[in-house]
Amino acid sequence: MSIELILGGARSGKSRHAETRAQASAAAVTVIATAQALDEEMVARIRRHQNDRPSAWRTVETPRALAATLSREAAPGRCLVVDCLTLWLANLLDGAENLPPGADASALPHFTEERDALLATLPQLPGHILLVSNEVGLGLVPEHPLGRLFRDEAGRLNQQVAQLADTVTFVAAGLPLTLKAPG
């Protein structure tokens, strides 16, 4: 069993790196896709990702119940690629624009439950788990409260998953930099 967290900015090559790592595992691969095709631009992005993957790979779409899906799909000799934690988090933050000023994400239905389930489930999973996530904390402080909430929760989630991961890699300009290695 191993957990890898692959971080990077938009178009950094993090998904491509995860796919390369999955192919190198020589295991049966299942992609756990968290994106929702809510507009034409997102449909095109999803299609591009699908076309880039080997046809033998399975895809399971999971916009919210990630821990349950991972528990169901993980198995010895199988590699799961979660692409990506950031979109999953955005799905969980749906409705945050209606929170009162100063409220945090724990006030959202299912947010804490789903996040805590993921963090409790990851160390129990058999097989090889690759988790892709955006590093969103390197830019300017977002102007709007919802943007700041998202940035803060993404940063917290990345830190929590990094603590559980055996390997953490940061990808910039298609180049992987190992931040944490096994051992």
For the chain, which domains are there? 2-180 (3.40.50.300)
Q: How far is CA 62 from the centre of its chain?
A: 11
pLDDT in tens, the chain (183 residues): 899 999 999 999 999 999 999 999 999 999 999 988 888 988 888 888 888 889 999 999 999 999 999 999 999 999 999 999 999 999 999 889 888 887 889 888 899 999 999 999 999 999 999 999 999 989 889 998 899 999 999 999 999 999 999 999 999 999 999 999 998
Active site residues: 49
E strands along 100-174, which residues?
A: 128-134, 167-172
171 bridge partner residues? 8, 176
DSSP 94: T
> What integer pLDDT is reported at residue 115 of this predicted model?
97
User: How far, in Å, are 53, 132, 160, 168 from residue 56 at the CA level?
Assistant: 8, 20, 32, 26
> What integer pLDDT is reported at residue 87 of this predicted model?
95
> What integer pLDDT is reported at residue 153 of this predicted model?
94
Q: How many other β-carbons are positioned within 10 Å of the β-carbon of residue 182?
A: 8
- What residues contact residue 16 under an 8 Å CB cut-off, 6+ apart? 52, 174
> What integer pLDDT is reported at residue 183 of this predicted model?
80
Alpha-carbon dihedral angle through residues 98, 102, 104, 108, given to the nearest 10 degrees: -20
> What integer pLDDT is reported at residue 14 of this predicted model?
96
The position carrying tokens 């979660």 is: 82
